[in-house]
Amino acid sequence: MDQTVLDFTGQKGAGEGLLVTSADVTLRDFAVENPKGDGIKSKGADNVVYYRLRVTWTGGPSEKNGAYGLYPVSSTGVLIDGCKVSGASDAGIYVGQSKDITVRYNYVENSVAGVEIENSRNALVTGNLVTRNTGGILVFDLPNLPVMGGGNTVIEDNQVIDNDTPNFAPKGNIVASVPRGTGIMVMANDGVTVLGNTLTNHATTQIMVVAYPKPFTDPRYNPYPRNISLGYNTYVGGGTNPDFPGGTQLAKAFGGALPPVMWDGLGGAQALLPSADVKVLNLNLPGQGAGPDKARPAMLAFASPPMIVVPGSVGAPVALEARIAR
């Protein structure tokens, strides 16, 4: 990835550096620099492998950079392994409207989101290092897309460190609302398990669980988080300078730092299932769109840990691993 470089600095237009629309493709051992659009995109390409790739915008964070570094969408069977991304104005690694996904052993920095799983099912995000992004790892479900109903995602054994870059996403993008200093954010998703991760020094919150905050008309869409299980993660620092209205005052009310988990209080009793040793800040929002400055925060302590079930169907097919071993 450091010796074979496709340099798009002089690219005309705003297309992606590389586009794949064929199934059973392996991309490995090269770099894409400074594309005007996305770095490497695959669409409708089943059984696609991204292996030891690098996508870099060499000028650092800028809203003029392409949105996504690695961007598989509408696919079954996705493996992203050992890649590096820096400078994406949306997400360094984004997997959308897909299923049977493994994102592992990657390094993402200086992007708005490190890793984003959106409207997708059966995803495993493991062993990644995401640092100096605005937000580390995002799991979203959004309305008005061809594929709906994201869920069954496991986020485990990741290093989510110092994601403190100011948000530089273009206005209007959904990630433009992600607060600086967010470790892991789950929005409007179902069946997400978060365990074994190390989260360090996120000024807003280590883990955030929220409902979708905007009006929508899609009758298929459920805007609330459901069955979000937080296992035993390691939390270091964080919560000292929340990036939302009233955040500074809220942190002072809790002795200078918010608890490691923030929940907007929407989604009912089954929205959030934390382990016993995790304290949660429940913002008790009265409805969608209400700001935290209007909330009545309360600490919650749960008496017993949830049953953590890691679904056997999570992750990309074994055949993809065999291809990169050759």
Q: pLDDT tens, 34-64?
A: 999 999 999 999 999 999 999 999 999 999 9
Domain for residue 227, yes or no?
yes
Tell me whether residue 26 is exposed, middle or buried, using C-beta atoms within 10 angstroms of its C-beta: 0 to 12, 13 to 18, 19 or more.
middle
Domain count, the chain: 1
Assess if residue 177 is contained within a domain: yes
Q: Which of 97-106, 239-248, 277-286 has the lowest mean pLDDT?
A: 277-286
Q: Quote the domain boundaries for residue 257.
A: 92-325
Q: What band does 141 get if pLDDT is binned at 50, 70 and 90?
A: very high
In a domain, 285, yes or no: yes
Within-domain flag for 317: yes
pTM above 0.85, yes or no: yes
Say how many residues make up the chain. Answer: 326
Q: Give residue 249's pLDDT.
A: 87
- Alpha-carbon gap, residue 314 to 132, rounded angstroms: 28
Around Cβ 274, how many Cβ atoms within 10 Å? 25
* 71 in a structural domain: no
**Distances in Å between the alpha carbon of 306 and those of 210, 287, 317?**
19, 27, 28
Judged against a pLDDT cut of 80, whether residue 276 lies above it is answered with no
pLDDT of the residue at 272: 77
With 0-12 CB in 10 A as exposed, 13-18 as middle and 19+ as buried, what is 21? exposed
pLDDT in tens, 296-316: 344 343 333 343 444 455 677
CA distance 302 to 236: 20
Strand bridging mode 84-86 / 68-73: unpaired
In a domain, 268, yes or no: yes
Q: How far is CA 50 from CA 42, 47, 70, 293, in A?
A: 10, 10, 8, 42
Domain contains 20: no
Let me know if residue 254 belongs to a domain.
yes
Q: Which residue has the tokens 């996120």?
A: 202
- Calculate mean pLDDT across residues 132-146: 96
